[in-house]
Every structure is written in C-alpha cells, then in structure tokens.
C-alpha cells in the first residue's frame, strides 16, 4: 500500500476535507481504512450504498454525495463502477470510512472524464462511507 496518501478530516457521515502530501501521487491503488465499521463484509456482486467525496490528486473536488444530501447505490465488484472502487471496497465492512487513491488505469483511463474536469493522467482520491449492502 502506498504510504504517501492524503489525510481526511471528519468522521463517518461528515463531508471530509482532504490534505495532500508534498509528494507525487502513488502509481498503485491506495486503500486506507480511516475508521472500521462493525457491519457485514462487502461481497463482490452486492449492491452497496455509500456516501462519497471525490477529488483530483492535489486539485479540486469533482463530485460528492454529501452536498446532495443523498447516498448512492450500485453493484460492486462486477465492473459497474471504476476498477479502483471494485478493488478497494470489496472486503470492507459496512460502517467503514475508506480512503481510496486511484491511479488513472483503475479510474477513467486515458480518456479521463472531461465533463467532470478529470484528465486522463489524473489520480483520483475518494473518501467513501459504506452505509449498507444488499445481495442482488
């Protein structure tokens, strides 16, 4: 696991603020459990309900669910979301707050996501609060 990950303020349920180290972004997937929940483990194929905050490494926030006041749900571990989410969230416990540092090849790849201001070489950082799961 890369050591040079950002720090995140707040606790589960609070919109975080990220502080980045003065080092380049890690080249691999970084996963850090900021606070461990006591719920069931997230299993590949589950529907997962989360709140999230996403920011480009050292740059600006591009999306978050906290400001909307509603969580999102999606299938996890089956290719429905970016690879960094599938790899980093499967095996975590419900109730956990997890920081993910996602290199481009596990994010949006070379194409990026221009409408969100994400370039093809951008490393993405997410703080994810895992609220629940359900079996599909």
For the stretch 64-86, pLDDT in tens is: 999 999 999 999 999 999 999 99
In a domain, 63, yes or no: yes
- Band of pLDDT at residue 135, cut at 50, 70 and 90: confident
DSSP sequence for 73-113: EEE-SSSSS-HHHHHHHTTPBTT-EEEEEE-GGGTTGGG-B
Q: How confident is the model at residue 28 (pLDDT cuts 50, 70, 90)?
A: very high
Residue 68's domain comprises: 31-134
Q: Does any domain span residue 92? A: yes
Domain assignment present for residue 24? The answer is no
- Residue 110 placed within a domain: yes
- The answer to whether residue 41 is domain-embedded is yes
Segment 40-67 shows an average pLDDT of: 96
Dist CA 92 CA 96 (whole Å): 7
Asked if residue 125 belongs to a domain, the reply is yes
- What confidence score (pLDDT) does residue 60 get? 92
CATH number where 71 lies: 3.10.50.40
Residue 52's alpha-carbon distances to 23, 63, 77, in angstroms, are 24, 8, 17
Domain count, the chain: 1
Q: What is the mean pLDDT of residues 4-12?
A: 94
Torsion of CA 76, 11, 3, 110, to 10 degrees: 40
User: Which of the four pLDDT bands, split at 50, 70 and 90, describes residue 131?
Assistant: very high
- Cα–Cα distance for residue pair 74/49, rounded to 1 Å: 7
Identify whether 35 is part of a domain.
yes
Residue 59 lies in a domain: yes
């Amino acid at each position: 696991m890369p050591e040079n990950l950002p720090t995140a303020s707040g606790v589960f349920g609070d919109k975080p603020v990220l502080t980045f180290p003065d080092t380049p972004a890690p080249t691999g997937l970084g996963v850090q459990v900021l606070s461990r929940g006591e719920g069931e483990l997230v299993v590949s194929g589950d529907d997962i309900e989360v709140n999230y905050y996403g920011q480009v490494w050292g740059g600006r926030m591009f999306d978050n669910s906290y400001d909307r006041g509603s969580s999102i749900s999606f299938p996890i571990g089956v290719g429905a979301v970016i690879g960094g989410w599938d790899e980093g969230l499967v095996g975590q416990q419900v109730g956990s707050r997890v920081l993910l540092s996602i290199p481009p090849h596990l994010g949006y790849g070379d194409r990026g996501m221009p409408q969100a201001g994400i370039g093809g070489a951008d490393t993405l950082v997410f703080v994810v609060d895992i609220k629940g799961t359900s079996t599909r």
